Amino acid sequence: MSKADLSKQPAQVAAMFDEVSTHYDRTNNVLSMGNAALWRVATTKAVGPRAGETILDVAAGTGTSSASLAKNGATVVAADFSEGMIEVGRRRQADNPFVRFVQADATQLPFDDDQFDAVTISFGLRNIVDPKKALAEFYRVTKPGGRVVICEFSQPPASIVRTGYSAYLRFGMPVLAKLASSNPAAYEYLMDSIEAWPSQPVLADWLREAGFEHVAYRNLTYGIVALHRGYKPRDAGGARATEAAGATSSTPGPTPPATKPADAKPAEVKAAAAAKPAAAKPAAAKPATAKSAAAKPATAKPAAAKPSTARKPAPAKPTTAEPTTAEPTTAEPTTAKPVRSNRAAGATGSSDSSGVPPEGE
């Protein structure tokens, strides 16, 4: 009997799933105590498949999740590393024209950039030898504006639930696995991989590092399982995937918009200078508003000049603001600060239409 370990060597993982493929779905229903079907429904709602869309279902196994995604007329590519799983899936979904099976490595997906409206994976990310590289691949093949949805075992936030769940994994699940599975040893790996998997906020950070924005997660069954979702920026392409794959401590979230250079809008600089002539330095200040002053000579007096006490109105000629060596074309552009875009990169905790609430809920 084949059993993988936490090194998650692809050959070991594939061989293990090949052996359990025949009774895989039945065993999942038994070990999850019926919750597997509920988690699948929640995942499908989070993906929100629509007719005409193309969706990639990674680690699709026998295609049960893929069939659920295809009910509304979406075309689903069911990808899995295990040849045994794919063979079972092809037999079961032979009459479903919306599901197509492809054997694929999640860290090297055989698809073009920006190809899928949505990418999803259920209970498979923790089995990948390099999950961050897989997330980078998900980003690459997702269309700009598309979404990623991950359903995975997680860490219950409540200590009482966490303690009870740990006891079930160590004592209850092995007994049920012997009754329901053709390879009960494989489910020892299941227990180890669940306990070693990071918490919900950590996975959310990984998604941001890959380039996804508006990342949020939702706990299912008290946090035993969590749904994560993120969106690929609409102005993004697949190029960031290569950068994100090798990043170890990159700033989370999408690349912020480039700031405008200081001299990008000289017309606005002149207008700003003309709007506030009082800001000119007294006595020796350069007439930064020389062009504007020619149109309105009455405003050419410096702010510090005292008004004349003569009864007759003073002529428009300035009394003390005699320009020395001023050059009318050199309005000082540094006095006007450029307007910077402060759009938040990768807002966290934002609610969305599929029911994935802000983080921590």
At 17 the pLDDT is 64
Q: Give the tens place of pLDDT for each residue, 98-150.
A: 999 999 999 999 999 999 999 999 999 999 999 999 999 999 999 999 999 99
DSSP strand pairing (75-80 vs 142-153): unpaired
Show the DSSP H helices in the chain as ranges. 10-20, 24-31, 35-47, 64-69, 83-92, 131-141, 159-167, 173-180, 186-196, 200-210, 240-245, 266-275, 290-295
Residues 6+ apart with CB under 8 A from 135: 125, 148, 206, 207, 209, 210, 244
Q: How many residues does the chain have?
A: 361
With cut-offs at 50, 70 and 90, classify the pLDDT of residue 21.
Answer: low
Q: Which of 32, 56, 31, 361 is nearest to 228 (CA)?
A: 361
- Name the range with the highest mean pLDDT among 177-181, 222-226, 336-340: 222-226
Q: Give the tens place of pLDDT for each residue, 30-74.
A: 778 889 999 999 999 999 999 999 999 999 999 999 999 999 999
Q: Give the tens place of pLDDT for each residue, 250-276.
A: 434 444 444 443 344 434 434 344 444
With cut-offs at 50, 70 and 90, classify the pLDDT of residue 9.
Answer: low
Give the global pTM: 0.65
Q: Give the tens place of pLDDT for each residue, 232-251.
A: 999 985 545 445 444 433 43
DSSP strand pairing (99-103 vs 75-80): parallel
Average of per-residue pLDDT values in the chain: 73
Phi (first) and psi of residue 296, to 5 degrees: -130, 80
CA within 13 Å, CB half, 13: 20
Phi (first) and psi of residue 211, to 5 degrees: 120, -5
Q: Give the tens place of pLDDT for each residue, 90-100.
A: 999 999 999 99
